[in-house]
């Protein structure tokens, strides 16, 4: 038996002079947790909570409820009457039903259970339907006030829908204290002018761990092997054994890794920039001269469920007629889907949450060129322990499976989007072949 007042302190994480410690007290759960993870110039100031791009604007149609989740918390995105984006917890404040099966009428969300209707700011506009007003008592006003949607701040910018995620939805948006700047994520902040580019994009939902996908996109070595036959770059293939000089820049806003070929004649290979919590930006050259920018957004939907939005900006082939004639969009999508399928082969085997734990230096070899990955894991570990995002909305075997069965945009298992895109390529090729033949027949 422990003595009265017995406490024990355990160091959970230590990196250099930074540590996170928990103190346990007799017969109680964790009582204190202290992090000495202080901000210095080479540490990222944002943690796992904050601004995420969760959906591209084109996927959120008027009149539709778009169900998704963040760190296991079920949420809904939709547009109100004015077309403004709203992000609310998928939980009716009346009796806790999901809005799945509900409706959107003139921008108001309607619960499928008793028909509760909620305006854009989250107020219930038909309380009489929910409260049997003839039997109300003195608590009516208090009760009525509590029937209010739980929401998160939401911004639409440059064709992305961003939400400010804290794990604690609030009834009044004004009560959020916004601690990180959305501007930090925007390519313009790094010197790009996205208006000079055209872009293609795809959105994919994976059944795998979120943190591993980011790791995958920070790992340049794998592209020579697993994507060696897919990436349309003569320097990227299975035969190439290339070594790089890597320059890493770390500051409060990002981890930037610039790879230059050791063979000086070849010059720069790529620059990869991780902008927490979920964005990666890839380009070559300087922001002013880059011919392309790839923006990859990673959204932690739930344990072993993650979404990726990839947008490929390009300065070349911007003529709409030509790009449509050459099926540029579909061919670009085909490459994206093939790359995703190749990555998924590996990602689905790397389930950090239940089996693998964090990368430990002694278990997995991180070499010089993987340093950016190590910095990323250091950031992830520190933030995971400090902000505990996965513990804010925990799931258990009793969690309602309606959320687990939520439709995913592109479950890679069935390859539906890839097949759809391939069909579109085939149909368009047939049409392009038939038009001149038909023309010749007419002339004859």
Report in angstroms how near the CB of residue 110 gets to ligand FES at its nearest: 8
Stretch that binds ligand FES, among 106-114, 170-178, 205-213, 280-288 (CB under 6 A): 106-114
Using CB under 6 A, which residues numbered 117 to 146 contact ligand FES? 130
CA distance 330 to 342: 18
Using CB under 6 A, which residues numbered 79 to 98 contact ligand FES? 92, 94-95, 97
Q: For residue 297, give every residue at least 6 positions away whose Cβ sits within 8 Å of its Cβ, in sequence order, or none.
A: 52, 53, 54, 160, 278, 279, 307, 308, 309, 310, 311
By beta-carbon proximity to ligand FES, the closer residue of 92 and 169 is: 92
By beta-carbon proximity to ligand FES, the closer residue of 90 and 297 is: 90
Our finding on whether 402 is near ligand FES (CB under 6 A) is no
Structure tokens at 110: 């309607």
The entry of ligand FES, Fe ion, none near residue 116 (CB within 5 to 8 angstroms by kind) is ligand FES
Binding mask 36-75 for ligand FES (x = CB under 6 A): ----------------------------------------
CA distance 203 to 54: 10
Binding mask 205-234 for Fe ion (x = CB under 5 A): -----------x------------------
CA distance 18 to 43: 11
Nearest to 191 by CA among 77, 289, 260: 289
Our finding on whether 104 is near ligand FES (CB under 6 A) is no
Residue 200 has a CB neighbour count (10 Å cut-off) of: 18
By beta-carbon proximity to ligand FES, the closer residue of 92 and 301 is: 92
CA distance 444 to 438: 10
CA distance 59 to 67: 12
CA distance 265 to 242: 13
Tell me the CA end-to-end span of the chain in Å, nearest whole number: 101
By beta-carbon proximity to ligand FES, the closer residue of 112 and 287 is: 112
By beta-carbon proximity to Fe ion, the closer residue of 256 and 343 is: 343
Do 292 and 284 form a contact (C-beta atoms < 8 A)? yes
Query: Contacting Fe ion (CB under 5 A), which of 90, 256, 297, 343?
Result: 343
Which residues here bind ligand FES, judged by CB under 6 A? 92, 94-95, 97, 111, 113-114, 116, 130
């Amino acid at each position: 038996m422990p003595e009265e007042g017995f406490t024990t302190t355990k160091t959970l994480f230590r990196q250099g002079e930074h540590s996170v410690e928990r103190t346990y007290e007799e017969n109680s759960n964790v009582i204190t947790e202290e992090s000495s993870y202080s901000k210095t110039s080479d540490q990222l100031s944002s943690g796992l909570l904050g601004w995420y791009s969760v959906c591209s604007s084109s996927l959120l149609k008027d009149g539709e409820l778009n169900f998704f989740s963040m760190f296991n918390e079920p949420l809904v995105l939709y547009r109100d009457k004015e077309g403004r984006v709203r992000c609310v917890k998928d939980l009716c404040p009346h009796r806790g039903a999901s809005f799945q099966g509900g409706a959107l009428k003139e921008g108001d969300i309607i619960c499928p259970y008793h028909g509760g209707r909620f305006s854009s700011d989250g107020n219930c506009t038909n309380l009489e339907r929910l409260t049997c007003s003839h039997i109300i008592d003195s608590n009516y006003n208090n009760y009525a006030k509590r029937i209010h949607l739980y929401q998160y701040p939401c911004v639409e910018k440059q064709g992305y829908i961003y939400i400010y995620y804290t794990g604690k939805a609030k009834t009044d948006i004004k009560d959020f204290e916004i601690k990180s700047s959305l501007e930090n994520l925007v390519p313009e902040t790094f010197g790009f002018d996205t208006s000079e580019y055209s872009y293609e994009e795809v959105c994919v939902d994976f059944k795998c761990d979120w943190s591993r996908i980011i790791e995958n996109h920070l790992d340049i070595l794998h592209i020579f092997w697993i994507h060696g036959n897919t990436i349309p770059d003569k320097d990227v293939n299975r035969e190439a054994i290339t070594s790089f000089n890597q320059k890493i820049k770390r500051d409060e806003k990002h981890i930037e890794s610039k790879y230059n070929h050791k063979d000086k004649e070849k010059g720069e290979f790529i620059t990869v920039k991780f902008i927490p919590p979920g964005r990666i930006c890839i380009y070559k050259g300087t922001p002013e001269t880059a011919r392309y920018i790839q923006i990859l957004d990673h959204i932690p939907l739930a344990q072993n469920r993650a979404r990726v939005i990839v947008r490929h900006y390009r300065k070349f082939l911007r003529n709409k007629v030509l790009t449509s004639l050459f099926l540029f969009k579909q061919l670009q999508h085909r490459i994206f889907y093939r790359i995703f399928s190749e990555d998924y082969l590996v990602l689905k085997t790397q389930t950090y949450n239940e089996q693998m734990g964090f990368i430990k230096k002694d278990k997995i070899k991180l070499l010089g060129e993987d340093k950016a990955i190590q910095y990323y894991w250091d950031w992830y570990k520190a933030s995971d322990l400090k902000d505990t995002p996965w513990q804010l909305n925990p799931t258990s075997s009793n969690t309602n499976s309606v959320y687990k069965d939520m439709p995913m945009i592109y479950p890679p298992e069935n390859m539906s989007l890839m097949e759809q895109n391939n069909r579109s390529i085939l149909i368009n090729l047939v049409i392009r072949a038939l038009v001149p033949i038909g023309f010749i027949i007419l002339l004859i």
